Structure 1
Amino acid sequence: MHILLWIILPLAGLTLGWTIRWLYARFQLSASEQRAERIKQDAIKEAEAKKKEILLEAKEQVIRERNQQERETRERRAELQRYERRVLQKEEGIEKKTAQIEQTEQALGQKEKAITERENELDREEERYRSELERISGLSQEEAKALIIRDLENEAKHDAQALINKIEQEANLSAEKKARDILVTTIQRVATDVTGEVSVSTVTLPNDEMKGRIIGREGRNIRTLETLTGVDVIIDDTPEAVVISCFDPVRREIAKVAMERLITDGRIHPARIEEVVTKVTKEISQKIFEEGEKVLFDLGIHNISQDAIRALGRLYFRTSYGQNVLYHSKEVAIIAGILAAEIGANRELAKRGALLHDIGKGVESDSDLNHAEIGMDMARKMGEDARVINAIGSHHNDVEPSCIESVLVQIADAISAARPGARRETLDNYIKRLENLENIAESFSGVDKAFAIQAGRELRIIVNNEAVSEDQSKDLAKQIAKKIEDDLRYPGRIKVTIIRETRIVEYAR
């Protein structure tokens, strides 16, 4: 019984517990369902409220957009109305302007017609006046036109000549003064000896008996001397003198020195003559080299080949119009160097080109080239500067000067050759040159008389004042100077002076 109770009581407790738990769970479930229902109802109410709110906002937005569109539509309509009014106004203005243009065209047409009629009338009047002028003046239209053109041309020439004279005077005042200062300064700083060698040399004898010893038995002594030296020994009636003639100055110098030594020694026979000539030839050759070196040392010029030094030395025995060529080349180098220093040119190049400008005269050659071309070839082989080669070739205008140094060499060469006493001319050539100057001047129309004065360095011309006007005198002077330049060769420059004056002479009786 008791065991049964112990079994039933736990089972009853369990059942009761389970029943209570189940009842509690049902209660909780029911509460949860009620709470869920309330949440659902609240969510539905909230969604409906939100929906109403959204719909309200959408309606307000639609209303605002509709109002905005209506406002924009009104503004566009107003803008279109204003545009239409402007278009209408412009159309009205265009119509008015078109009407005005039509009126203006009509007026212009009338004026054009009137102008055409006026031009026709003026043409008729001009033709009538022209005919009347031709009748009164006795000149046709073409003749009158030519007369007017000629007068205008003469007037223009007169004005142009006056302007040219003014410009020339102003340019000459400045340029000639500067050039004169430079040239005078240069010439004053140069002092070079002037020699007067010719193609013959005279040997003084102690007595006339020496002439027979020079000739020798059957003339063998004189023949030996002439054969060895290549000169002509002239023995004439000149007392106590023998003349040695030869165009080669080196040979002439060898013969002269050899004969002087033979006369001093007293032993004159073919073997002795040959010995002395050989010895003198060596001495002259050494002197040639020394003279070339001396000039280079005096001028401070270096880097010259041995052949060039010998060619320079030979110039010591050569002359041009009585002027020693080596001294002339040295003088030209000094003048060119001074001129280059005065104007800022290359002094060393100018001196080098000036010293070598006549080196072709000292070269022993059978070529048919002139001395300038020979000098250019020699300088080119020596490796000289192109400007030096151009200066050598252009000093007689065989080639065109390519630099200022070449022009300076031309100027220095002319100064050295043209200064008083530098060169000697024969009397016949001097007189002929003066006659040519006077004949050129007198060949021009209007020249009464011409006089060459100052050793041919100035030409004074007297012109007929009635045939040649003052302006024509200036043009005549230029024409005469140009013809002298073209027809004559002369050193330096020639001054052309035209004298035009009126002389009235009356006698009181």
Structure 2
Amino acid sequence: MEPGGNPVDFILPALALLIGLAAGAGGAYVWLTKKSGVALAQAEAAAQLQLEQAKTEYKQLQLKAREEQQQLREVGENELREARLRLQKQEERVNRKEETLERKLDQTEKRDRQLGQRERAVENLHSEAERLRTAQQAELERVAGLTNEQAREIILTRVEQETRAEAARRIHEIEAAAKLDGDRIARKIVGLAIQRCASDYVAEITVSTVQLPSEELKGRIIGREGRNIRAFEQITGVDIIVDDTPEAVTLSCHDPVRREVARLTLNRLLKDGRIHPARIEEVADKTRQDLEQIIREEGERVAYEANVQGLHPDLMKILGRLKYRTSYGQNVLQHSLECAFLAGAMAAELGANVQVAKTAALLHDIGKAIDHDVQGPHALIGADIARRLGRNAAVVHAIAAHHNDEEPQTVEAFLVQAADAISGGRPGARRETIDLYIKRLEALEHVATSFPGVQRAFAIQAGREVRVMVQPDALDDLESIHLAREVAKKIESTLQYPGQIKVTVIRETRAVDYAR
């Protein structure tokens, strides 16, 4: 309102505006009321229609359920009717079977009555026959003047005598025919086995010759005042013979493993050019390690050639040691391989277990590889080794029985015996004198090592000297002198030998230190 204006002019338009607004609101209320009444009427009509539809669906479902119920009742009545029919038929079959069984029972009872009558008739006949036999026997005894027991004894004695004579004659004929056929078949089998196995034999000797590049090397081998040759013989246990043979020295030892170590050691020293005691000991230790590998490879090779699988690694190592073992001059490893071939061929001809025969024949002499360290027959030693290293009972028995330390019980055990005899008995296969010589040297070493404090013992100079290495902390110098006397006395009392044997006891103390 402008200042100075009339208030009535302002109030009148405002009242007019309020009156207009009030009239508009009343009209809107009336319109809304009419509109909501129409919507409510429409909703009631829709609800009534849905109710009618639901009643109609309910009546239809009731009709459908009554129809299904009627159908199920009809199906159940049909099944019940069929079950009653089946039951009635089963009852009729049971009744017929009962009637059949009753008829059979009647027939069985009738047969039983007939059998009873027949049994009584048979018993009567037996009684009558026994009465007649007794009467006849009494009459015969009266006529012959002998009782029944006396007559039976005479007849049995005569029959027994005739039977014994006939049986003895037949047994003699059968034994003669079996022996003839057995000898013929055995010769054939052995001949076939030998033809299939041809081996070359070279008798082993107890010396090895080492060729020298020049004659001057003999002096280096001997060394100043003989220190090199003494150290070599002491370390290897092999006797070196330096003679007038041009550009050659000879190694002599009964132990082939020891002799092979010495030969390889000397060859390596000659190639290296440095020959002195410390170098000799170093090369000898390295050679022994290399020889262990060679022994293991030899065992694997022989097992492969004999086609014997599954041997324990320790068993193959023991088998490889036989490469350096001889028996009467025959190499034991080659002998074992040939025995495996022979036993396998004979087992195949006889239809025996080829694998058992070959395995037992290949391992039959493994006891010889360690018989220096274990007491007892080599067959039983080898059998114990095979048992501990996983061989089966048949193989163990064949090994133990190949020299009759056990009684052979199997075909394979006899075949191993035969193969061993064939391989060792062939012309030129063995030389007895060498084996006896080796056994004498082994006995010398065994006597020396039987004393306490002895570390090693070597028989050298073809058995004319024994060198005994003692432990320096176990014996002093005076005790070493006493030990030499005791060893000599024991050799005199236990062994037979030509000439005299020198006993040398060596006690050596070494002090080793390193400059760093």
**TM-score for both structures, normalised by structure 2:** 0.49
Larger radius of gyration: 1
**TM-score for both structures, normalised by structure 1:** 0.50
More relative contact order, 1 or 2 (CA 8 Å, 6+ apart): 2
